[in-house]
Amino acid sequence: FNTLLGGTGLLASKKIQAFAPPAWPIVVSTWDFGQAANLEAWKILETNGRAIDAVEAGVQIPESDPTNQSVGYGGNPDRDGRVTLDACIMDEFYNAGAVASLEHIMHPIKVARLVLEKTPHVMLVAEGALEFALANGFKKENLLTPKSEADWKEWLKTSKYEPQMNIENKQYNKENDPMPGGIENHDTIGMIALDSKHNIGGACTTSGLAYKMRGRVGDSPIIGAGLYVDNEVGGATSSGVGEEVMKIVGSHLIVELMRNGKSPREACRIAVERIVKRSPEKAKTIQVGFLAMNKKGEYGAFALQAGFTYSVKSKSVQKVFASDHYF
């Protein structure tokens, strides 16, 4: 310590800092299935592409994966058997686009990007979003896979809708997936990227709560709730029971906490604690996880329960981390 405060030591320290490689490009995303999405995003980031292009490409991987029943194709339907998708995207200039309750379109994130680029609006929903997608060349597809349909029909026989439970009820009452922190009890991929030009972008996409009420929309497509990025500060995203995230405007809260000097992990922790403070007993029965990254390329996460994971990809890191948790 004393050496560093000395003349030559301080110069040496400054020299090391001056030549230290930047922490970007880097991409982070929610859950372990974010690894594959990160690798797709990295193809763009490593060739000096924009962060918004990277996140749009990255989250399309789980959107088109029929084995992932919480995002896109093969997503769990609502209680009427309809797969409805939500997504949003945001760039470094505060531009944002979103869709909600969109049916028949495999990649809602691409439609959200077009809302950003081609309309004066931020969000289109339901039939309006579908009409916009079809007018821009998208084709209708059946998003309900045999597996998701079979699970839904089984749920109709044996389960009841319990929105207080963590995320989808697709594994409802199965011993291999205890509530509320099991690895299957998650939805949504949220992704934040910092590109080689030090600009940030974010995306979030989901099929939402399984067997939800017709027309239900959670936090994922809501700018400031499921996703928020600010090119001066960083970005944040969430996964879990979206209603609780919306009530605290979670992602925006986290970005503002980082603006005021909190680390990504600490900002996420404070957001989780706000949920607990509002409804301490309810918080014990649900899962919410937050993930954040600042403009230094520092990242962190925090969740209500154990089980929330996040994936990181940079030049030096390719790893899945387990988030710290409140309970």
Q: Which residues are marked as active site?
A: 188
**CB neighbour class for 145 (10 Å; exposed up to 12, middle 13-18, buried from 19):** middle
Q: CA 310 → CA 115, 197, 218, distances in Å?
A: 28, 24, 20
Angle, to 10 degrees, between the axis of helix 126-135 and the axis of helix 108-118? 80
235, 202 contact by CB (below 8 A)? yes
Q: Is 230 helix (H, G, I), strand (E, B) or coil?
A: strand
**Which of 78, 40, 23, 29 lies closest to 217 in space, CA to CA?**
78
125, 133 contact by CB (below 8 A)? no
| C-alpha to C-alpha distance for 73 and 40, rounded to whole angstroms | 18
**Which of 301, 306, 303, 225 lies closest to 264 in space, CA to CA?**
301
HSE on the CB side for 44, CA within 13 Å? 21
